[in-house]
Each structure stands twice: as structure tokens, then as C-alpha cells.
Chains A and B, each alone.
Chain A
């Protein structure tokens, strides 16, 4: 780590442990941008694992910070709703003037019906079909990288690979694929000067363009025989073919963000983690079979989605605290994945960790990530091909991080491949 980021982290540690407990409010985007959220969660896990923040820019909310409590909330969908009209699945409430209904932000039975339409495309049988294409594309990207000069890993590898994959899944016009990246960024950002979009109006305009573009694809495919791409599946699926335009847009955004941001940031996070724990990379380099445990370990260590949110619909006790119907409940996966009661030495990346698959990054229960196996496969292929070529990739500086309490990721990571 460079001096600036160490200073920021030390200051955060000082503040986290000295401020009154009641004032701790971990949902601060700047903390995540500075990678300074860790000590606040450390203190909460130790002193107040189910913590109430009375006042914040997102209103009052509960923070669930320990692995087992998160598991309890995540698996109790009868008490903790994901419904968009109650606020949805992230700490920032869905806007009432521009609702984006999507199955992740629904409860049974609609959630179950719509999820089952999409699920087959990322089931094991179909993944075997996709593997060859993903490998070809990964190889082309890696072989096209410059040698001996600095470049941005996020743009050249992480974004490019996940965007190509997404274009494949949607059977989206390949030359337009960066539109998908753009829509993903626009969908998850908070509008503001200097941001991804300047105003909420601009955000909604761009998302309507997204809807319009996909509506064209939908119309092509609804009139053609069913095929294996996601748009065709939605257009022909019994539970999805009569979706409203907003529902169609909502589910598209879900699939674009779900299939894009997350894998993108784990691809960058893995490389960055190895720069922090170089001996772990040497262990993997000496024994490629360790990739089986390395891939889930990277996903745990990175935790590409920092939280998921629920809204209590009945009173419910969690970790000894009484949560009331209507309360906003934040499951901090980023904290649960650092809970040393469940995960030994959780701050470290350990490529041969026992039970590496036991992590919270995909969530648990009925909303568990539907694309988890695809994500793992993409990551595994990239690392297999890097190891095969024995690429010596040097991280040149600290990454820049996303300003968000939801997407835990990177906007930039300068690297160089040594000749």
C-alpha cells in the first residue's frame, strides 16, 4: 500500500474506535471509496453486531455485521422482504417516480416464477456449452495485452471480458457491447456533478435508451422461434412474456449489473489481492490445482457487492436486537466475510483455505446469485490462461475504488506485464 492509503486507513481506525458507538454509520460511500470501512465493521462485529443507525442520508437502518446473523436474515424471506415497493435490495430506496421492478426485488411467488425463466441459461449444462467461447475470448484478450508498458487492468481485461460475456448471453450486437457497460454503470450510480451521470434526469434518459434498444431485440426475437439467449428466453418465457415495459427494463438491468459489475470487480480484486499476498500467488503458481479453492477465495476476499438490503415485514429478533416491521435491514456481506468466528484469518487471501466456498458473496436463500457458477467459470478460465502463460503482472499503484456502499469495486488498476 502506498503512504496515502495507509494514512487514510490509520485515521479511519483511530476514528472508528474512538467515536461513540451509537454514531457509527457504515453506509458512507466515501468510506468505501477510501477502502476505510474495515475498522468500523471490525468494531461493530466486536461491540454491537446488530447495530442501529438512527440518522443517515439513507434514513435509519440496521447493520447486520456477523456471518451467522446475516445467514439468519438472508434465509428468512418470510420476515425480510426484498420487494421494490418497500425499497428493494439496496440501501438507497428505489425511486417511486421511476420504479425498476426486477425479480431480485420481488418476493415469492412472482420472484420464483421469473427467476426460473432465467436460471437455465446459467445452469451447469449450458455453462459447458459457453466455456469454449469464454476461453477463446479470454485468450484473445490476454494475448492482445501490451508487454512491458503500463495499462489499466480494469478497462482492458475486467470490463472487456465481462462485457463480451454479457453480449454473448444476450446475443447482443457485439460492436455495441460497451453500451452494456455504460448502462450497468448508469444503473448503479448516484447522479451528481462529476459523476457517471450529472442528473437523475440524464440517468433516466439513458436507461430509457437501454429499454428502447432491448425492446428492438425483444421484438425481433418474440417473432422468431425460441433460442438460448436471455432476451429470447424472456420473450418466450411463460412468466415473463407479458412483463410491463418497466418490468422488462428492471429485469434487464438486473441481468446487466449482475453479470457485469460483480465478475468485473472480482477479476480486478484477484489480481490486486495477489499483489498484497505475493506468496499466495507463488503457491498457486506451483500448484495450479489450487485454483478450485482460489476462485471462491477471491470472491470472498473481494465481496463485489458490499451489502444486500431487506425490509422487515414482521417484528423479528436478530442477534438479540428487536427489529420492527418496516425497518430497513442491511446485510453487510463485506463484514460477514471478515468474521473470524467463521473464517480464520479473514483479512488474508489464502489460496488453499479449508472450506473456501463458505462465504457470503453470493448471498444465501431464495435470492442467492443465479449466475454464481458462470462467474466462477469466467474467473477460473482467466486465471488458468494467465498461469498457463506464466504472465508476470506487476501492480504499479493502488487502485481507484468506486464511490458506492453497494458495488464494491474498482475504476482503475494500473499494471504492467513484465517482458
Chain B
């Protein structure tokens, strides 16, 4: 299984085994990573799975969709590399992915 590292706002890292075909959000929630809420269950409808993706991974993770862009525009502390992790699907190519988290989901 691909390994994904989630780094909390305070620097704490969590390395999890992610299921192929599921979302990065699901990998966090199913492994009890704190700081990823995923309130809507992966519908791109709440912006509570907000992460920052390192730029070198963008080619693999893809870029924001229109509805993701809209939801992120209401989130706090967004940056150019903000993504909703429910919109990134886990594949072998994501092995080693590192994402950072904001100070809270909103």
C-alpha cells in the first residue's frame, strides 16, 4: 500500500498506509489522523479535509476542480497549493506523498 505522510500544523507527522482507489481524506480519517475531519464524507461539500500539497507532487495529484475551487474559497488559510484531500485519489504513484495541514478546518 502507498504510504502517505500527514503533517499537522504543530509539526507532528503521521505516516499511514493508504488504500488504493480511496481518497487521501479517507486514508487520514480511517487511520485516525487528527486534523482531517471530512464532514461531508468526500462529496467536495464542506472543505474540512483541507491540506497543502508540496508543489513537486502536483503533477501526480492533479489540480483543483471547479467545485473544489469554490469550496476552498470559503476555507481559512488557503494557499496556492491548497487541496481538498477528498478530491485526490490514492494510487501507487502517490507512494511517499507528503501533505501539510492548516491550523484548523473550517
Do these two chains interact? yes
Q: Does A353 contact B (CB under 8 A)?
A: no
Q: Does A192 contact B (CB under 8 A)?
A: no
Interface size (A, Cβ < 8 Å)? Answer: 25
Q: Does B77 contact A (CB under 8 A)?
A: yes
Known: A123-B104, A124-B102, A124-B103. A71 touches B77 (CB 8 A): no
Known: A125-B77, A358-B40, A358-B41. A364 touches B104 (CB 8 A): no
Instruction: Judge whether B103 and A366 touch: CB under 8 Å.
Output: no
Contact code string A336-365 (vs B, CB < 8 Å = 1, else 0): 000000000000000000010110001011
Provide the residues of chain B in CB contact with A357, threshold 8 Å.
37-39, 48
Interface size (B, Cβ < 8 Å)? Answer: 24
Q: Does B13 contact A (CB under 8 A)?
A: no
A112 contact from B44, B48, B73, Cβ within 8 A:
B73
Instruction: Judge whether B43 and A124 touch: CB under 8 Å.
Output: no
A368 contact from B37, B38, B41, B46, Cβ within 8 A:
B46
Q: How far is the CA of A96 from the CA of B48 in the complex (A)?
A: 37
Distance to closest chain B CB from A81 (angstroms):
16
Instruction: Judge whether A124 and B105 touch: CB under 8 Å.
Output: yes
Distance to closest chain A CB from B8 (angstroms):
13
Instruction: Judge whether B45 and A365 touch: CB under 8 Å.
Output: yes
Q: Does B15 contact A (CB under 8 A)?
A: no
Q: How far is the CA of A373 from the CA of B37 in the complex (A)?
A: 12
Instruction: Judge whether A115 and B40 touch: CB under 8 Å.
Output: no
Distance to closest chain B CB from A174 (angstroms):
27
Provide the residues of chain A in CB contact with B43, threshold 8 Å.
71, 75, 364
Known: A124-B104, A373-B104. A116 touches B73 (CB 8 A): yes
Instruction: Judge whether A74 and B39 touch: CB under 8 Å.
Output: no
Q: How far is the CA of A366 from the CA of B44 in the complex (A)?
A: 10
Contact code string B81-106 (vs A, CB < 8 Å = 1, else 0): 00000000000000000000011111
Nearest-neighbor residue (CB-CB) of A370 within chain B: B74
Instruction: Judge whether A124 and B106 touch: CB under 8 Å.
Output: yes
Interface SS of chain B: loop
Instruction: Judge whether A127 and B104 touch: CB under 8 Å.
Output: yes
Q: Does A85 contact B (CB under 8 A)?
A: no
Q: Does A119 contact B (CB under 8 A)?
A: yes
Instruction: Judge whether A364 and B40 touch: CB under 8 Å.
Output: yes
Known: A124-B106, A125-B103. A364 touches B73 (CB 8 A): no
Nearest-neighbor residue (CB-CB) of A373 within chain B: B106
Instruction: Judge whether B45 and A125 touch: CB under 8 Å.
Output: no
Provide the residues of chain A in CB contact with B104, threshold 8 Å.
123-125, 127, 373
Q: How far is the CA of A417 from the CA of B50 in the complex (A)?
A: 42
Distance to closest chain A CB from B23 (angstroms):
14
Q: Does A122 contact B (CB under 8 A)?
A: yes
B41 contact from A74, A115, A355, A362, Cβ within 8 A:
A355
Instruction: Judge whether B106 and A116 touch: CB under 8 Å.
Output: no
Instruction: Judge whether A119 and B103 touch: CB under 8 Å.
Output: no
Q: How far is the CA of A115 from the CA of B70 in the complex (A)?
A: 13
Nearest-neighbor residue (CB-CB) of A358 within chain B: B41
Q: How far is the CA of A370 from the CA of B43 in the complex (A)?
A: 18
Q: Does B60 contact A (CB under 8 A)?
A: no
Q: How far is the CA of A120 from the CA of B74 in the complex (A)?
A: 10
Q: Does B76 contact A (CB under 8 A)?
A: yes
Instruction: Judge whether A71 and B105 touch: CB under 8 Å.
Output: no
Residues of B within 8 A of A (CB): 29, 37-41, 43-48, 67, 70-71, 73-74, 76-77, 102-106
Apart from A119-B106, A123-B77, A365-B71, list 4 A-B contacts with CB within 8 A.
Answer: A75-B43, A357-B38, A364-B40, A370-B74
